[in-house]
Amino acid sequence: MISTDSKGFYIENLGELNKEHSPSLPMNFPKERLPCKIYKITLTIMIAELCEEALIKMSLCVFQNQSNLCGQENRVYYNCRKERDAQIFTRIKEWEIEEIQKIPEFDKRQSYYDELEIKRAQIAKQFERTPSSMPNKNKRWRMAADIEQLQWRMENIKSFIKPQI
């Protein structure tokens, strides 16, 4: 659960947060596929980030009150973020499968897969070289999340790499 104190945000249960990585978007991922809320205000249409409202309410509560009075706002934001991330992961998977299916030659599909593997290996090597000290905690956590996500992406497209016999 995300919580706050007077110094800023901190994580109460880090073990739970490590199970829920926010996604890193692939380089060519279209922004139109990102989940959002669409508001129609008279003649204009306003598009807002999905959890923007929950984040604003949580921030206002924290800035105006003691952090222990904002449990409900923290929960709403945390749950919104979990739902948003799940939607993003689903859309990344759908998009990547569509993209790999557009590539007619299986050797080019294999090259795409190999590029993901090279990127995963580079991040893993950098992760191993990064000292596991407190100043590097968030950096190492992000690298571990990216490694896991690249493995997940590779697993999703694996069946589209080799021709079906």
Domain boundary among 60, 76, 102: 102
Q: What percent of the chain shows pLDDT beyond 90?
A: 42
**pLDDT (tens digit per residue) in 45-65:** 555 677 888 888 988 998 888
72 in the same domain as 13? yes
Joined together, the tokens standing for residue 76 give: 């709403």
38 in the same domain as 91? yes
67 in the same domain as 108? no
Query: Is the pLDDT assigned to residue 10 strictly greater than 50?
Result: no
Distance CA 49, CA 41 (A): 16
142 in the same domain as 127? yes
Structural domain containing residue 162: 104-165
Q: What is the mean pLDDT of residues 95-118?
A: 95
The model's pTM? 0.75
